[in-house]
Chains A and B, each alone.
Chain A
Amino acid sequence: MMQQLAGYAPTPMQARMENHGRTMLKVAMASGQDLYARTGSMVSYEGFIQYEPNPPAVRQIASQWVTGEGAPIMKCSGDGLLYLADYGADVVVINLNNDSISVNGTNVLAFDAHLQWGVEKVKGMAKFAGQGLWNVEIAGTGWVAITSRGTPLVVDCGRGEDETYVDPDALLAWSPNLKVKGKRSFKASSLVGRGSGEAYQMAFSGQGIVVVQPSEDSSDRLRVRG
């Protein structure tokens, strides 16, 4: 029995964060190197790791995000190995090297606590995208893990003369230096119930990248569960 299962044993860590399979994130924790992770994303850990939901630092930075039940982020500290997952979504590990990236709030899985980060509401989007679209802008040098329902796709913006339009439900992340605006592709005919199904898009212009997922499922599963 063990022989068949042995293939799924964790491999030795070579870096701060690694994928285990495509849907699980493995983080090497050490004291002094705290991590922020989505509340509820922990599936397993080895060693001595402590979790602090809704820590004061987060409350300060993400005060806007806090909508009564607290920011959906916990602080993890300690020594050991931490495994995180988000309901089988693909995990993409990014090692920021003095870069910055803006990630849709529901798609943040974990990031190093020493990174600079901030939460902002995407302008113009709150009006039409149900709960509003929050994004977390992360910058500095360190590790970030984001989730994606399906294999993500990265597109260069500003390659052509036109803007890039993205379905907000499929949007994962983008370069913060891009200009963002909402776009409604309403037409008169849409109002009588005959829309193309694509009523709102976000338009990106400038030089940078946009990351999308092949699914329009943007529901926040970790939060739905409560």
Chain B
Amino acid sequence: MAREFQRGHKAKISDLTAGTDLYVGVQISAPGLTFDISCFGLDANEQLSDDRYFIFFNQPKSPEESLQLLGAQAGDTESFRVTLDRIPPQIQRLSFTATIDGNGQMSQIGPGYIRIVAGGEEVCRYSFDGSEFTTERAVMLGDFYLKDVWRFAAIGQGFDGGLEALLKNFGGEVAEEQPQAQQPQAAPSFGAPATPAAPPAFGAPAGGPAPAPAPAPAPAPNFGAPAAPAPQQTPPQPQQPSVHTAPTVVAPMTPPAGTVPPPAPAPGQHAPQPGFGQQPPQQPQFGQVPGQPGAPQGFGQPPGMPQQPGAPAGYGMPQPQPAAGPGLQAALQPYKETATGARWTPQNQQMMRVDLNMGGTPVLARQGSMVMYQGKVDFSYKSAGFAGRIIGNATGQEMQLMRCTGRGQVFLAENGAHLHSIELQGDGICVSAENVLAFDESLQHEVRRIEGHGIPGGALFTMQFQGTGTVVVKTHGIPVVLPVTPTTYADSNAIVAWSSAAQVIISSQVRLRRNSFPGHSGETVNLQFRGAPGNFIVVQPYEV
């Protein structure tokens, strides 16, 4: 089941798993060494333009929690939760890296791996060991990257300079070197000794406990906390020196002398959790007053609040906090249209943009799902044949389509449902007709009917798609993707899609006595799925 990757191998995530809620585990170890495993969320230029997407021990999650650090578990030295469909569009690449904390080199490491687990099942693993490396002190293990769709690549590239080299590579800046004096044994971790003259770019006054306000040097440059003084964020954390020292990247240590920068009277803040960059970057964007005590997340979530993996909605959602900003443009900035070169571009979780100029084939979409378009686009009734066949069944399950042709961009959405674009490359998927929002006309589609007693309306209509193109599926809420096992059942009302190789069986739970209870469970008709391993089903948390 799990695919073994070699260095340089690449694959689409969708080929590995239909899920977008992934667990990424990294195992790396060497006698006597500790490792810092981090995830960089990079933009299209592979730069770390937003340091809130540098996920490491000091910043365990991104603002909208699409990236989360979970800690060591299940045999992994470090693990992450990555929710691909919630990653904001400006993040185009996630790079998972490991750096040695302290002295050492990568050739010392034992067998390790980076693996992707979806729905409790490992779908891909890239194994490596020390023989692939020499004196490197950091290694890029694997990348998720967005090229039309999210893909995974096994990288296995070492970096001599350790974390700084990595950061420099990603356009980040280490705003200040660790003040050596302060943390005698711990600080060096970070490669200071090995590359004493840390690359000039870091502009680090090498060693001296330079007073903080320096870090703003890089206004635009990505990593730099915008003019707001980042430093106070991460006062040195003496309690866990060995681990917590190294990548105090942006937020340099405030020397004990306490040059707390003026605008931020935040001395009482809890130090460790908020991570370095969180608050400062937020500030310029959303105008939060800097130094707001203890509210780095905006909602005042206590930093240590347990993550509830299952319930990502609610509070920590991507909703950026457009709290202020001077002026209209600033307030609306987070909601700007994102244009990429792709034909289908999700604008946010609930809206999809299709560029008809690309590819040239018309798009079929559910009637009424257009919220906006630009350019010369023609909407016409999708004629007869196929649509008629669906509507013809007087079951109330109708699916009316329109054809969008012409040149321009069409924005599709419906009732705030979550949208997911599924790119098919020769494979097939069955989608419950109610959940189809739009698809490329180039796909072959056919309507299937699943009959069964007890299904409302007498039958469940599904559309089977095959070929090359994209299907946009809408779900109410965040769906779950389950592998098909001999005992996989789904409610016929909640099922969204399944891989077309899986076989569907209606299983009715017939209980003789069920009618004797006025309030029987109501869960009487289920669909059972059968199929070879590798098949999956998608279920939404909403019973239509």
Q: Hey, which chain A residues are within 8 Å of B413, CB to CB? A: 150, 170, 213-216
**Nearest B residue to A202, CB-CB:** B372
Cα–Cα distance between A12 and B288 once the two chains are bound (Å): 11
Cα–Cα distance between A101 and B299 once the two chains are bound (Å): 27
Q: Is A32 an interface residue (CB 8 A)?
A: no
Cα–Cα distance between A201 and B293 once the two chains are bound (Å): 47
Cα–Cα distance between A20 and B322 once the two chains are bound (Å): 11
Q: Hey, which chain B residues are within 8 Å of A159, CB to CB? A: 374
**Interface size for chain B: under 10, 10 to 19, 20 to 34, or 35 or more residues?**
35 or more
Q: Hey, which chain A residues are within 8 Å of B376, CB to CB? A: 162
Q: Hey, which chain B residues are within 8 Å of A211, CB to CB? A: 332, 335
**Chain A residues within 8 Å of chain B by Cβ, number:** 61
Q: Hey, which chain B residues are within 8 Å of A170, CB to CB? A: 371-372, 413
Q: Hey, which chain A residues are within 8 Å of B293, CB to CB? A: 12
Q: Which of A47-55, A86-94, A118-126 contacts B (4 or more CB under 8 A)?
A: A86-94
Cα–Cα distance between A93 and B370 once the two chains are bound (Å): 26
Cα–Cα distance between A17 and B321 once the two chains are bound (Å): 11
What total of A-B pairs shows CB separation below 8 Å? 197
**Nearest B residue to A22, CB-CB:** B319
Main secondary structure of the interface of B (DSSP, over half): loop
Q: Is B259 an interface residue (CB 8 A)?
A: no
User: Which listed residue, A92, A95, A164, A216, touches B368 by the CB 8 Å rule?
Assistant: A216
Q: Hey, which chain A residues are within 8 Å of B289, CB to CB? A: 14-15
User: Which listed residue, B294, B305, B373, B416, touches A164 by the CB 8 Å rule?
Assistant: B373
Contact A12 B292 (CB under 8 A): yes
Cα–Cα distance between A18 and B289 once the two chains are bound (Å): 11
Q: Is A197 an interface residue (CB 8 A)?
A: yes
Cα–Cα distance between A98 and B329 once the two chains are bound (Å): 11
Q: Is B331 an interface residue (CB 8 A)?
A: yes
Q: Hey, which chain B residues are within 8 Å of A151, CB to CB? A: 318-319, 335, 348-351
Contact B372 A164 (CB under 8 A): yes
Pairs A-B, 4 closest by C-beta atoms: A197-B367, A214-B413, A150-B416, A214-B350
21 inter-chain pairs at a CB distance below 8 angstroms, sorted by A residue, are A15-B288, A18-B324, A19-B298, A20-B299, A92-B322, A92-B335, A93-B322, A151-B318, A151-B335, A160-B375, A164-B373, A165-B372, A189-B381, A197-B369, A198-B368, A211-B332, A213-B413, A214-B348, A215-B371, A215-B413, A215-B415
Residues of B within 8 A of A (CB): 287-289, 292-295, 298-302, 305, 314-315, 317-319, 321-332, 335-337, 347-351, 366-377, 379-381, 400, 402-403, 408, 411, 413-416
